[in-house]
Structure formats: C-alpha cells, structure tokens
Amino acid sequence: MSETITVSGIVATPPELRRSSAGVPITSFRLAAGQRRYDRATNTWVDNGTNWYRVSAFRALAQNGIASLRKGDRVLVSGKLKVRDWDNGVKSGTDVDIEADAMGHDLRWGTSRFARPEAPASPRSSAEDAWAPEDDAAGGEVTDAAPEAAGPSAEPGRDAWAVPGDPILADGEPASSPEEPTQADVPF
C-alpha cells in the first residue's frame, strides 16, 4: 500500500548515492520529522516525538539530491509512503519509507540558491542547422544564444538570473545575511 505524503524534517544521515543493477542512480538518507507543541501550563515548547523515515530518490532527483542535501539540512520531501513490517527471526519491526517525487530545502529555516545542472552536449537540431548567418538582418556577430537568454542581469560576476539590486558579491555569495525583522517592521 502506498499513499502520497509530504514531510518536513531534518536530514539525519549523510545522503548516500548508489546505482541499481541497471545503472539507475539512487540517493537515500534518513529523515527525522520532529513534532513540537506549546505547553500553556509551563509556557514552553515541548518535544512531542519524532517520526523517522528512509527517503529514496531515483534518477535526476537522486543526482540533484546528492549534490544539494547535507546532513542537518531542513528539507521538505513529497512522495509515496510505504510501510512494511519485517521479522528476521530475532527481531521484528516496521520500516517507513518515502519514495521521493520531489524534495528540497525548507525555506522557513534558511535560504537556498537554485542552479540548473548543465545539460549534456547534444548535436544541433536540423532547425538550428537551417538558420544561416546571412539570415541575420542586423548583420552582427553570430552567437548561439539570443542576448535576452542571458537573463535579467548581464553584470559580470553575477548569476544570470539574479534579481537586479540583489547584494551579491562577484563570487556569487550574498554580501551579507539579511537581518531579522524587528517588531516595528511587522505591520500587525
């Protein structure tokens, strides 16, 4: 039996990349999803137990996951829930697995920067081969990409899709961390 589930939790073990016998990449890790509640009697937050899941991702999601996720990261995982009982003669238990359809950083707890993996080189299509430089009305230099494909920012050292005005250094890192809003900044 499998149901779709979305879980917010912490990557509890370093993600591992393996390959199936057919060569399919598989990334797996343990996910700890803790619950907390506010106890009004003591005016404190109290732990309310932790659920443990084994998360498995396949193919492109596996490759992107191994490149992006680290132990201790707060993540969201959505996928098929699989619950299985087991018994090895000495011990018995229940495994709770999630076959991930999507996963990524939980932005309630921090920031993340998206980067598309580079696509493997592919031969040019026949439509691209049909275009000839003499078809260029401007008569300028021929390039593989239109200028607007570079994204909204063409500043050197900036990410091609950075938002204008972002405080980004030449190495792509934020210039400073954003400050926490104060009570005066919150409108209500």
- Cα separation, 62 vs 129, in Å, equals 34
Q: What is the mean pLDDT of residues 23-44?
A: 94
Give the 3-state secondary structure percentages of the chain, helix then strand then coil, rounded to 5.
Answer: 15, 40, 45
Confirm whether 138 is domain-assigned: no
Q: Is the pLDDT of residue 125 over 70?
A: no
Confirm whether 150 is domain-assigned: yes
- Cα separation, 84 vs 95, in Å, equals 5
Confirm whether 124 is domain-assigned: no
Confirm whether 137 is domain-assigned: no
Greater confidence, 19 or 124?
19
Confirm whether 123 is domain-assigned: no
Residues 160 and 95 in one domain: no
- Closest to 166 in 3D by CA, of 180, 181, 152: 152
> Where does the pLDDT of residue 123 fall: very low under 50, low under 70, confident under 90, or very high at 90 and above?
low
Residues 17 and 102 in one domain: yes
Confirm whether 140 is domain-assigned: no
> Where does the pLDDT of residue 73 fall: very low under 50, low under 70, confident under 90, or very high at 90 and above?
very high
Residues 10 and 103 in one domain: yes
Residues 1 and 88 in one domain: yes
Query: Considering its fold, how many domains does the chain have in total?
Result: 2
What CATH number is associated with residue 7?
2.40.50.140
Boundaries of domain holding 8: 1-108
> Where does the pLDDT of residue 99 fall: very low under 50, low under 70, confident under 90, or very high at 90 and above?
very high
Mean pLDDT estimate for the chain: 76
Q: Per-residue DSSP letters for 93-137?
A: EEEEEEEEEEEEE-TTS------PPPPPP-PPPHHHHH--GGG-T
Residue at which a domain ends, from 108, 128, 159: 108
- Cα separation, 169 vs 166, in Å, equals 9
Residue 36's pLDDT is 86
Residue 26's pLDDT is 97
Greater confidence, 127 or 1?
1
- The whole-model pTM stands at 0.60
pLDDT in tens, 136-148: 444 444 344 433 4
